[in-house]
Structure 1
Amino acid sequence: MSLCKGHINKHLRIERFWKESIRLNKSCTTIALRKCDCTLDAGGLVIHRVVYISKMAGVGAILDAVFGSYDLKVTRQWRDEDVRYREQEKQWREDAILREITWRHEDIEREQRLFKLANEKRMIDARQRQLIAVIKLATVLGGFNMAAIVEINVPEHFNQTIMAIYAGIAALQFLCMFICTLICTLLLMAITRFVTHTLETEIRLLETVDLDLVSPFNMYWLMRCESEWMLAYRLFYGGLSFFSMLIILIGLIQFRDSIIARIMVTVLCAATTVFWRLRIASKWQFLVSSPDSIPSTPTSTVRATALSAL
């Protein structure tokens, strides 16, 4: 009996040891130990335990292999997903950079076009001021001529030749100033129509490389308004010359009783006319000269000049 109890106690201790080992194992599978019949044969008990231990080791190896392969598969899948996400993130960054570059180019082009529009309007404003100044001066000289015709006192027995010359020069001076005023007024109307209906469209149709080279208003002025402006300027110059002659004739008529007064008026007006022609008009003669060439297209001459300079 004592021998049997010793074998039983030994068997129970071994069983408790393996239960504790299985409980502490990392595997999530609960393995129930089956009860083994206790025999008095110590050798049989040992053999039974060895077989039992080998079976448990095989199950643990299988579980480790299964969970190891699962972990490897999940890790590989996560790695592939991470690589794909990083590639997509890289593509998103590249697309964002390209969009920012495109938007920056569009902003620069928009600023260039706005600056070009403002510059063209400044040029148009300067041209309008020039035309208005000529109109005002021509109106003043023409009004002075009409006032002189109305207010002058002509004696009954005055020299008819001088009167005919005076009438002709007065009419020519007034007509020159009148036509000059009309032409400048029409040019103002043409410029106003261009800036309100055509300028923005012309600037919008320009290429980006032409924004710093081509001026739509200059092209319009050279092709449509330059010849009329030259005609108005020549008429204005002619009216100034006739105005000097008119002053001489008015002096001859008004100061007919004083020879010294007539001589003084004639000499001063003649000297002023000569000074005007030789000192002032000759210096600014280029203002009444046409440009050498008028390009037929907005970019033909300007691009050729820019490329030759490079």
Structure 2
Amino acid sequence: MIGLAAGMDMADMAWEVRCREEDMKQRALDNERNAIDDARRSVDEKAEQLKVLANQSTLFAGFSMVVLVESNIRTDVNGILLSFFGGATACVIALMLVSSLNATYMLVAILRYDCVNRDVPFDEFWRKRCEPDWKLALRAFSYGVPLFMVVVSLVAWVTFWGNGAYYTASSIVTVISLGVTIFWFSGIERKWSGFLLSPRARILTRGLSQDGAPNSGVCSGGNEVKK
């Protein structure tokens, strides 16, 4: 009886060891799957951001090219005004092309990232290879938007040149463009530029407030803005 009990104890121990080994193997497989899924989610997230930036930059560059080519410019327009118009339009096209091409090349690069083997972690890959180009593309887009509004203002002056309501129509367009530019710098660009350029930017979710509503904050450049 003693020998039988000892044999059963050894069998139980062997079964527990086997179960533990299988459980560790399963956990290792689950961790590997989770790591692959995390890498793919990171790639998809960055890919969507780059697609949006590239598409918007291309739209602005196309609009500026249309303005430059299709504008009904009179032959007696002031030469200095015409030079400012052409230069501003060319700068918008150049900035938006820099933004679009950078975003496109980065998109191709991250889509080639091996999410299975992960020889280099994706965060490190993005930080070392893509982060400077991402900041350059985003800054080029941020500078190109207000410059595009300058083009809109100038095209009114060169188009309405010599007409009866020349000063009135051109001034109205200029005032609207100036208002949009001020709103861009004081509102949109000021709020989101630092957040989007920060490599640590993330959404922080806090606990519920006293009234039961979720209390969240946005981390921008390491600074938390609570709501």
- Displacement, 1:158? 1.1
Q: Secondary structure at the match of 2:75?
A: coil
Instruction: Determine if contact 2:146/2:184 at 8 Å carries over to the other structure.
Output: no
Structure 2 gaps of 5+ residues are 201-227
Q: State the alpha-carbon separation in 1 of the partners of residues 2 and 68 from structure 2.
A: 99
1:210 corresponds in structure 2 to: none
Write out per-residue CA displacement over residues 249-273 of structure 1, whole angstroms, 9 at most, x where no aligned residue.
Answer: 1111112222110000000000110
Q: Is the 8 A contact 1:134 1:181 kept in 2?
A: yes
How far 1:135 moved relative to its partner? 0.9
Write 1 or 2 for the structure with the bigger share of strand. 2
For residues 193 and 104 of structure 2, the distance between their equivalents in structure 1, rounded to whole angstroms, comes to: 23
Alignment root-mean-square deviation, CA: 1.9
CA contact (8 A) 1:177 1:236 kept: yes
1:99 aligns with 2:18: yes
**Residue 172 (str. 1) matches residue 91 (str. 2):** yes
In structure 2, the residue matched to 1:267 is 175
Structure 2 residue corresponding to 1:281, chosen from 189, 201, 214: 189
Alignment pair present for 1:123 and 2:42:
yes
Match of 2:63 among 144, 155, 167: 144
Residue 139 of structure 2 aligns to a residue whose secondary structure is helix
Q: Indicate conservation of the 8 Å contact 1:227/1:290, yes or no.
A: no
The answer to whether the 8 A contact 1:138-1:177 is kept is: yes
Q: Which structure has the larger Rg?
A: 1
In 1, are the aligned partners of 2:156 and 2:173 still within 8 Å (CA)?
A: yes
Count how many residue pairs are aligned between Structure 1 and Structure 2. 197
2:53 is matched with 134
1:109 aligns with 2:28: yes
Letter in 2 for 1:158: V
Counting helix residues as a fraction of each chain, which structure ranks higher?
A: 1
1:232 counterpart = 2:137: yes
Given the two structures, how large is their TM-score scaled by the length of structure 1? 0.60
Matching residue's letter, 2:145: L
SS at match of 1:283: helix
Identity of aligned residues (%): 25
Name the SS of the counterpart of 1:200 in structure 2: coil
Map Cα deviations across residues 124-152 of structure 1 (whole Å, 9 max, x no partner). Answer: 21211111111111111111111111111
Cα distance in 2 for partners of 1:226, 1:88 equals 62
> 1:42-72: per-residue Cα shift (whole Å, max 9, x none)?
xxxxxxxxxxxxxxxxxxxxxxxxxxxxxxx
* Structure 2 residue aligned with 1:200: 116
- For residue 76 of structure 2, the aligned residue among 157, 164, 167 is 157
Partner in structure 2 of residue 186 of structure 1:
105
User: Aligned partner of 2:131: which letter?
Assistant: E
